[in-house]
Amino acid sequence: MKSHVKALVVGGGAVGTSIAYHLARGGWDDVVLLERDELTSGSTWHAAGLLPLFNMSFATTHIHQYSVEFYKQLEAETGLNAGFSIVGNLRMAQTKERMDEYMVYATTAETCGVPYEWLSSAQIKERYPLVRSEDLVGAIYHPTDGYINPADVTMAMAKGARQRGVMIERKWQADGYEWTGSEWKVTLTKMVEKGGNLVASDEQIVVHAEHVVTATGNHAQRTAKLLGIKMPAIPVEHQFIVTEPDAALVEWRKTNGEHPVLRDADSKWYVREERGGWILGPYERNAPARFEHGVPDSFRADLFPLDLERIEEEYMSMIHRVPSTESVGLKDDFNGPICYTPDGNPLVGPAPGLRNMWLAEGFSFGITAAGGTGYYLAQMMVEGEAEIDMASLDPKRYGSWMTTEYAARKNEECYEHVYILHHPDEEREACRPLRTAPAYDRQKARGAQFGCVNGFERPNYFGPLDAPDSFDHDARSFRRGGWWQHAVDEARAIREGVGLIDATAFTKHRVKGPGATA
């Protein structure tokens, strides 16, 4: 183990391995990647490996795009096959409103250069006769999406990193971080096997690092405590099941190519082929957060017990959508921790208030994001900024008001909302109200309809006090809701007259020191 390094990357999953690779490719020749157990032993090993190209976030879409192109060339560079399959992605819609959502998605795809096409119900059936489509309005199809083997792509990135001079050290745990004013002193403890658990030994060393990156996945809460910061990255249980071979699918594949990844968002699941059978990945209600206060020593590359009752609704809807699965048995099941944040975006960038400390935490789609995260974070570290706007992923978007309980409940809500319709100006209700301004009660009495900004309840608009009981103040759609005219009247009154705006939720900066008042 080196005692002095340019950059120490903590965490040997797909994200951390990619960061180490890209730092070396960016010109840093003194990089060490640290893993407390074995590479991929966190959430990487049990991920489904889907590679959806687009996302409603501009930054995330670019990250996903880079990942896909990067993974394609890894085999040529390293000689390791990452199991990349380009099969396409079919997002089906049961309602007109879901198609409205896909139309919004399409605008992001166009902006980022992601190809897509629209399919009618009849076209879906014509292309994929195993799929029941008569109750579908249509679908959006992405021909360049696919999936990859998570462990294989991580090992390929690790080999590429080693080829570029990165040292990879396993069975070392970061137990302390101290900033000296010019570098980080990181205390590392050797981890050893004991009774099937991974425990700390008495052997410790100190590594001096100019820069540190944490990509600690399920261990993010432990990392936050060591750094003295708050971080809303907490895992949530995610289940998926693998079926036995489906005779109808096996017969279909004799003369046809592989099905695209099938996503029935209104039924809250994805399905893809797997060795003649299917993988079902549901995003069900009531999935619990885990490891709110740290991962126990007894949990390594482990899983939780399957809860079939919790995913019964999604399982039955898969049978409805792909009727041939009704007679197919279950071959395998997985229920593992997947990290989330309250808004579903990872935390990528400088750690709040800590010089040369960088975060890459809270990835719920870590395989898709790993390649691009390594690329753009390395740009931030090596060149001073990324070529795209990364503000939506900035760790500073969560302040000191954020509690562990808040993060856990909001992450559960975020998981449940993966496939729920995402309307413009969407407001979610978990853990609200958390913070209220001095004028909150008066605003509420005057008809304020609140949104949440920076943890504060802030009026979105003032609704009519005499509205009938049937009036839905919180109605959201991709068109104009019943509240539209009231918001228009309010905006016009301020523009043409005078009004007050509550700025409580805005971030405040205190400038102090000599010349602060100049």
What does 330-388 look like in DSSP terms, one character per residue?
EEEEEEEEEEE-TTS--EEEEPTT-TTEEEEE--SSHHHHHHHHHHHHHHHHHHSS-SS
Predicted confidence (pLDDT) per residue in 487-498, tens digit: 899 999 999 999
| pLDDT for res 1 | 87
Domain annotation covers residue 118: no
Question: Domain check: are 77 and 19 in the same one?
Answer: yes
Question: Domain check: are 436 and 395 in the same one?
Answer: no
Other C-beta atoms within 10 Å of 518: how many? 4
How far apart CA 405 and CA 221 sit, in angstroms, is 12
Question: Domain check: are 349 and 492 in the same one?
Answer: no
Domain annotation covers residue 318: no
Q: What is the band of 464 on the pLDDT scale with cuts at 50, 70, 90?
A: confident
Question: Domain check: are 440 and 393 in the same one?
Answer: no
Please report the beta strands in 215-329, taking only residues with DSSP state E, as ranges in sequence order: 234-243, 261-264, 269-274, 277-282
Question: Domain check: are 439 and 392 in the same one?
Answer: no
- Measured CA distances, 243 to 328, 353, 465 (Å): 7, 48, 55
Predicted confidence (pLDDT) per residue in 344-389, tens digit: 999 999 999 999 999 999 999 999 999 999 999 999 999 999 999 9
Q: Does 48 score more than 80 pLDDT?
A: yes
How far apart CA 12 and CA 38 sit, in angstroms, is 7
Identity of the amino acid at 443: Q
| pLDDT for res 350 | 98
Question: Domain check: are 56 and 153 in the same one?
Answer: yes
The DSSP code sequence of 485-511 is HHHHHHHHHHHHS------TTS-----
Domain annotation covers residue 282: no
Question: Domain check: are 393 and 445 in the same one?
Answer: no
Structural domain total, the chain: 2
CB distance 13 to 154 below 8 Å: yes
- This prediction's pTM: 0.94
Domain annotation covers residue 377: yes
DSSP SS3 for 329: coil
Predicted confidence (pLDDT) per residue in 94-119, tens digit: 999 999 999 998 988 888 888 999 99
CATH number of the domain within which 224 lies: 3.50.50.60
How far apart CA 458 and CA 443 sit, in angstroms, is 9
Question: Domain check: are 393 and 461 in the same one?
Answer: no
Domain that holds residue 382: 1-84+145-233+341-400
Question: Domain check: are 369 and 470 in the same one?
Answer: no
Question: Domain check: are 200 and 64 in the same one?
Answer: yes
How far apart CA 319 and CA 324 sit, in angstroms, is 7
